């Protein structure tokens, strides 16, 4: 059975004096087996439910193995005879694995030079990967568990690299959410794609989002930025469009995540989301009306205040003005509805009697003061 599934050990013959003393035939046999095991590891990581039984130790061994394979490739890629033997071994192993895992596409000898990357991508796209291990990939503090540093904060390293490239001007940061949120948003979409493709039941995908949010306690803003980045990603398939629709629906669940998101993110980013998604625009507008309806006029402060301190009146006006920037027709519709709500309050023009009247006046002035 596949070595990583059984918890087997690899034999880094290139690094130990004991193995180096063996005859050439024995060494070559060990290398061929190690290469076969590398292909098996990548297949299991991407396509097997065996990963749901992995723990941090098994994950560390997997990346240690991938690191060894990269070292192996660097030593043999210029050796013609060894290359031929290894490529034949991979051809045989790929054929065997494709009968076990229909979605497995096979690996080439050159793929071993980026074995850690392929392992990471495979794991992130496997819906069976436990959420705790997925979080571990993003945790720089995991360095204490992985002394070789092949796993610790691996995804965080990707984020740092992209952030550094953006600062240095290597490529423009096209995402208004920031480089780190862009990477996290991509991972979020890949994970949702995998979960929603696997089963018509949406509960696993809901559980995934709930777990990630729970794990971001105290840093929910980072999660909402990742959600925004995921929603602003241009979908390249119907599956990605479905994942974005699912994400929009999840935000409107009873736990009020959409309200938390709207109170956390910059209004410019909310405007971009409203422009990209009609469903988000309608929901955003509903959130703003909900906030307004929860306000009371404070005589002491001479201002409308929210009963739960969710948002201030000037901030509410700013949100409305941002939304109304999208197109003139929306402004007309919003003003008509606010005027109707004002009339239902008695159609008074005196400040402090109707939040809808004061809000309408502020919007017509185009100011937040």
The domain boundary, picked from 169, 204, 235, lies at 169
Same domain, 75 and 160: yes
Q: Are residues 245 and 127 in the same domain?
A: no
Q: What is the predicted pLDDT for the residue at 176? A: 64
Of 59, 29, 64, 33, nearest to 44 by C-alpha is: 59
In a domain, 139, yes or no: yes
Of 179, 208, 178, nearest to 192 by C-alpha is 208
Residue 195 lies in a domain: no
The pLDDT confidence band at residue 151, using thresholds 50, 70 and 90, is: very low
Kindly state the DSSP code that residue 176 receives in the 8-state scheme: T
Model confidence at 265, in pLDDT bands (50, 70, 90)? very high
Q: Are residues 163 and 218 in the same domain?
A: no
pLDDT at 199 over 60: yes
In angstroms, the CA 32 to CA 169 distance is: 43
Of the ranges 25-29, 300-304, 365-369, which one carries the lowest mean pLDDT score?
365-369
In-domain check, residue 73: yes
Q: What is the mean pLDDT of the chain?
A: 80
Q: pLDDT-based confidence at 19, cuts 50/70/90?
A: very low
Residue 294, in any domain of the structure? yes
Question: What's the pLDDT tens digit per position in 115-145?
Answer: 888 888 788 778 888 877 877 776 655 544 4
**Domain shared by 152 and 273, yes or no:** no
H helical segments located in 48-153: 56-76, 80-100, 115-124, 131-137
- In this predicted structure, the answer to whether residue 283 has a pLDDT above a threshold of 90 is yes
CATH code (residue 266): 1.25.40.490
User: What average pLDDT does range 313-338 have in this prediction?
Assistant: 90
How many structural domains does the chain have? 2
The answer to whether position 323 is within a domain reads yes
Q: Are residues 34 and 106 in the same domain?
A: yes
Rounded Cα distance between 108 and 114, Å, is 11
Is residue 234 located within the same domain as residue 122?
no
- For residues 260 and 142, membership in a common domain is answered with no
Q: Judge whether 310 lies within some domain.
A: yes
Cβ distance 206 to 195 under 8 Å?
A: no
Residue 226 has pLDDT above 50, yes or no: yes
- pLDDT for the residue numbered 23: 60
Residues 164 and 235 in one domain: no
Residue 149: C-alpha distances to residues 41, 143, 161, 219 (Å): 19, 6, 16, 25
- E strands within the chain? 295-298, 303-306
pLDDT in tens, 61-112: 888 888 888 888 888 877 888 888 889 999 999 999 999 998 888 898 888 8
Q: Does a structural domain hold residue 350?
A: yes
Q: Does 131 share its domain with 247?
A: no
- Does residue 228 lie within any of the structural domains? yes
One domain, residues 157 and 30: yes
Structural domain that includes position 149: 2-6+24-169
């Amino acid at each position: 059975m596949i070595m990583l599934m059984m918890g087997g050990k690899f034999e880094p013959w290139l690094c130990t004096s004991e193995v180096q003393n063996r005859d050439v035939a024995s060494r070559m046999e060990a290398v061929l087996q190690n290469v076969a095991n590398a292909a098996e590891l990548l297949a299991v990581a991407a396509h097997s439910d065996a990963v749901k039984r992995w723990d941090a130790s098994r994950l560390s061994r997997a990346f240690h193995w991938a690191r060894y394979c990269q070292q192996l490739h660097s030593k043999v890629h210029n050796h013609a005879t060894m290359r031929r033997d290894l490529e034949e071994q991979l051809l045989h192993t790929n054929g065997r694995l494709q009968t076990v895992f229909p979605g497995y596409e096979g690996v080439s000898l050159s793929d071993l030079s980026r074995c850690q990357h392929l392992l990471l991508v495979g794991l992130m796209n496997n819906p069976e990967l436990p959420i705790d291990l997925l979080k571990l990939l993003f945790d720089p503090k995991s360095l204490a568990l992985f002394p070789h540093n092949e796993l610790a904060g691996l995804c965080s390293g990707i984020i740092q690299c992209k952030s550094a490239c953006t600062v240095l001007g290597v490529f423009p940061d096209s995402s208004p959410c920031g480089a780190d949120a862009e990477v996290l948003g991509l991972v979020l979409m890949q994970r949702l794609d995998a979960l929603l493709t696997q089963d018509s039941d949406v509960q696993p995908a809901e559980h995934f989002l709930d777990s990630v949010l729970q794990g971001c306690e105290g840093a929910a803003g980072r999660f909402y930025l990742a959600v925004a980045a995921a929603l602003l990603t241009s979908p390249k398939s119907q599956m990605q469009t479905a994942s974005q629709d699912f994400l929009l629906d999840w935000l409107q669940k009873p736990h009020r995540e959409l309200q938390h998101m709207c109170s956390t993110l910059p209004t410019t980013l909310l405007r971009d989301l409203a422009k990209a998604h009609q469903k988000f625009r309608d929901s955003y507008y509903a959130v703003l009306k909900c906030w307004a309806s929860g306000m009371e006029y404070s005589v002491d402060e001479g201002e409308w205040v929210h009963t739960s301190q969710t948002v201030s009146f000037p901030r509410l006006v700013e949100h409305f003005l941002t939304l109304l920037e999208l197109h003139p027709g929306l402004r007309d519709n919003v003003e008509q509805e606010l005027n109707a709500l004002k009339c239902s309050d008695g159609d008074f023009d005196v400040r402090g009697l109707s939040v809808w009247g004061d809000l309408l006046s502020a919007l017509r002035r185009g100011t937040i003061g």
